[in-house]
Amino acid sequence: MHKSLILFLIGAFSMTQLRIVGYIGVSELIMLGLAPYVFFRNAKLLRQHGFMPLLTLAAFWGLSALATDLYRQNIFVNTIRGIAPPIAVMAGTICIHGLLHDDLRRFKWLLVGFSVTVFLSTFILQPGSSSAGAAELGISATKAVLGYKLTLLSMVSAIVVLPVQLAYLRIPFVSAILTVLLALFALLQGGRSAFLCLLLAAGMQLLVGGQASRIRRVTRMALPMLAVLLAVSWGASKIYGYSARHGYMGEDERVKYEEQASKKIGVLSGRLDFMGSLLAIRDSPILGHGSWRPDYEGYMLKAMDIIDDREGAEQYLSSNAVGWIPGHSHIWGSWVANGIFGGVFWVFVLVLLWRFVFNDLAVFPAMYGYFSLLLPGFIWDVLFSPFGNRQQKVAAIVLILLVRNVHAMQKRQMAAAYSL
């Protein structure tokens, strides 16, 4: 029971943050202190369970971040903030593995904690981005968090997804309905990517229909599943466009959609940071540009030129402010700031996610509700969103690797039985 309690506390304080040089999660800070001891105690198990490639790549990511910042003569604070993500990934992986490897069912307590942390981080020990923004505006951190347009979505999601994650097989169609309703709520709140990912999750739930035997069949239908995902994505984009044009999402979202749709690449222009990241990587593919470095080379302006965003470029120039080098993606953001090994780490994770979908998804049917909600959003985030909610992502990677290890053991046992 003490491991279950620790997992709950890790989840509950995963988004609450303290300021030590930069902002760091309370859970991360504790795991940083414990990770060396746990690693030496469980090194053999980590190797047996297939965690060493992940930890090795995370270590190279950290060394690449340090080398980049030293070469770019970055300031000390930014250097520490730059190496914090890979170190947090390693520490979280080691500690959560130590708490889960002997009983995967304990993961439910971590999920409950992750739901609780949304509310704790709204009202106490808010994330650094909110605290910093509140200081600039002269308001409380709580008011800054509540003023963010997607905060309400996060709070509703924390409540709605929990029964889907924990009890999908018992309430398959209720789970699908809840997921669809949450997707529509995300759309009304302006969360386009959340809307798309939740629709994909609902599609995965309906395909299985609560029958564990269908999960294995789904994993063997790679091409049909891809076609379904593309169809859902196309349908989601049409629903978003219709809702935005007709003002169902508010005037601001309508204006934003019309501005994006008028540009060369349409609504994809909303991923301006994505294009700016690619331009930055092209100029320095091995060493990064440094952590939290200003965009003196004008990569955002170059990206605006590509999509013909003249109004945006004029506003950017008239502000007389230099923003950060764009990095709106797990892969490209880490590559831009920390160098090639930052990108390699997340490519490894992306491959791990895809292999899990098509090879291991059916190993633990009771977890299918969790994975249906996790996988579309995780894959999207790796490609298009900055690295946030670090311990939730780390916990997902740990669970995936443990499930893959169980599946590999099952295959070896079956092969041994047949050989007899």
**Span 169-213, pLDDT tens digits:** 999 999 999 999 999 888 888 777 888 889 888 888 988 888 888
Query: Do β-strands 22-25 and 17-20 pair in parallel, antiparallel, or remain unpaired?
Result: antiparallel
The pLDDT of 410-418, averaged and rounded, is 78
| pLDDT for residue 294 is more than 70 | yes
- CA separation for the pair 332, 350 (Å, rounded): 13
- CA separation for the pair 197, 242 (Å, rounded): 18
Q: What is the pTM of this model?
A: 0.87
| pLDDT for residue 223 is more than 70 | no
Residue 253 confidence class, pLDDT cut points 50, 70, 90: low
Tokens at 306, concatenated:
């590509």
Task: Give the model's pLDDT for residue 23.
Answer: 76
Residues near 418 by beta carbon (within 8 Å), at least 6 away in sequence: none
Least confident of 42-46, 203-207, 411-415: 411-415
Task: Give the model's pLDDT for residue 120.
Answer: 86
88-130 confidence digits (pLDDT tens)? 999 999 999 999 999 999 999 999 999 999 888 887 766 666 6
| % of the chain with per-residue pLDDT over 70 | 79
Q: What is the DSSP letter of 295?
A: -
Task: Give the model's pLDDT for residue 192.
Answer: 77
Map residue 25 onto helix, strand or coil.
strand
Closest CA to 407 of 366, 348, 349, 362: 362
Angle between helices 390-419 and 26-48 (to 10 degrees): 20
Residue 320 confidence class, pLDDT cut points 50, 70, 90: low
Task: Give the model's pLDDT for residue 269.
Answer: 45
Tokens at 136, concatenated:
């600039």
Average pLDDT, the chain: 84
| % of the chain with per-residue pLDDT over 90 | 43
332 neighbors 283 (Cβ within 8 angstroms): no
| Residue where the block lists tokens 């279950």 | 4
Residue 32 confidence class, pLDDT cut points 50, 70, 90: very high
| pLDDT for residue 251 is more than 70 | no
336 neighbors 281 (Cβ within 8 angstroms): yes
Q: Where are the alpha helices (DSSP H) in 49-106?
A: 52-71, 76-100
Least confident of 67-71, 108-112, 141-145, 263-267: 263-267
- CA separation for the pair 40, 37 (Å, rounded): 5
Angle of CA points 250, 254, 258, to nearest 5°: 175
| pLDDT for residue 262 is more than 90 | no
Secondary structure E strands in 169-281:
none
The pLDDT of 384-392, averaged and rounded, is 88
Consecutive H or E run containing 17:
strand 17-20
Tokens at 166, concatenated:
């924990």
The pLDDT of 120-141, averaged and rounded, is 65
388 neighbors 275 (Cβ within 8 angstroms): no
Angle between helices 272-283 and 330-338 (to 10 degrees): 40
| Residue where the block lists tokens 């995902």 | 229
Task: Give the model's pLDDT for residue 255.
Answer: 61
The residue type found at 11 is G
